[in-house]
Structure 1
Amino acid sequence: MRRRLYFTVPDTASAQQMVNDLLLARIDERHMHVLARDGIPLDGLHEASILQKSDFIHGMESGLVIGGIAGILAGIVGILFPPAGVDLKLVTILVTALVGAAFGAWVSSMIASSVPNSKLKTYEKAIEQGRILMMVDVPSGRVDDICKLIASRHPEASSSNMEPTIPAFP
């Protein structure tokens, strides 16, 4: 399990040095994501993807649940009030739940991909001022070590916030 740490640094040179220090601490580059204001060149830093920038994952999860519930209700209504001449079985509820969940996840993830990540709201002002946000996913057992490393090597970095857990796939 990994935890996401957030740091803000003043410029790309500081961010690049932090990435180098984290690489030496055996944190893979794929676990480091950088977010900056438009127009700031990231010079080889791993830019945050749509999964980190938006509420895509939260939207997909919500749509999956809401669509699944709507599908179950549609299946129950279909069984209680079947169309003329059609004998619907109990498997109808399963099929409509799966279709509803898939449709709900798809639609809500498309909508949520255009919504900024609510977890990054606290960093908006710093990003607008030209600072660079670094999101670092570290193993749970190494959180204290990495925080101490960053504090000792990068006094210019504003301390981080920490998410309790992150999904395994982004």
Structure 2
Amino acid sequence: MKRLYYLTDKIEFAEHISQELTNNGIDAHHIHVLSKNEAGVVTHHLHGPNLFERNDFLRRALIGMVTGLIVAIVSMFIAKYLLGYSFTGLAQFALLLLIMLFGTWLGGFIGFATENKHLNRFHDEIEKGRHLIMIDVKANEERLVHKIVEHLNEADFSGEDKHVLI
């Protein structure tokens, strides 16, 4: 899937675009609106992004897991070859798992406090009161979405991301 981003000045435009896309076969659950006016998103029957789309939890948790794995391996190397300690296989596995889980937890904790890296580029526009429409499309729907939104002339195309997982 691919995610298309459009910015619009009025929440009513976002609602109109969402209705037109839904009427033309785009699943309403693939259309999300990020706005400073969260009450307006609900009032206009729009879907806001979920928690994982708003913050960088998954990406940071993965980075924390890999960092924890590297720290655990380096720690065991230092303990064995520089300090002379020896570990059994089970102790090595437990230490590796413990440090890796701690890294994952810490990375996820940081990720909850961090804005999603894909949405960070729109931060200033959203703070100014604009509304970001995010549309997840399959390859065969992309041209239709562009055509509909361009025809309505209520939003500006602002970019895309390929391989959207969430």
1:84-143 Cα deviation digits (max 9, x unpaired)? xxx732344443333322221211111121122233233223222322111111113322
Correspondence list, 1:30-69, <5 A: 30-38=29-37, 41-42=40-41, 43=43, 44-69=45-70
2:159 paired residue number: 161
Q: Is the 8 A contact 1:7 1:159 kept in 2?
A: yes
2:153 aligned partner, one-letter code? P
Instruction: Find the aligned partners of 1:109 and 1:78 in 2 and give their Cα distance.
Output: 28
Identity of aligned residues (%): 24
2:122 paired residue number: 123
TM-score by length of 2: 0.82
Instruction: Find the aligned partners of 1:96 and 1:41 in 2 and give their Cα distance.
Output: 49
> How far did residue 77 of structure 1 move?
4.3
SS of 2:13's equivalent in the other structure is: helix
Q: 1:27 to 1:89 in 2, by over 3 A?
A: farther
Structure 1 residues without counterparts, runs of 5 or longer: none
TM-score by length of 1: 0.80
SS of 1:27's equivalent in the other structure is: coil
Q: Is the 8 A contact 1:10 1:157 kept in 2?
A: yes
Q: Aligned pair count? A: 162
Deviates more, 1:60-69 or 1:119-128: 119-128
Correspondence list, 1:12-161, <5 A: 12-38=11-37, 41-42=40-41, 43=43, 44-77=45-78, 80=81, 81-82=84-85, 88-152=87-151, 154-161=152-159
Q: Is the 8 A contact 1:74 1:93 kept in 2?
A: no
Instruction: Find the aligned partners of 2:21 and 2:79 in 1 and give their Cα distance.
Output: 56
Q: Is the 8 A contact 1:71 1:93 kept in 2?
A: no
Structure 2 residues without counterparts, runs of 5 or longer: none
Q: Is the 8 A contact 1:72 1:96 kept in 2?
A: no
2:108 aligned partner, one-letter code? S
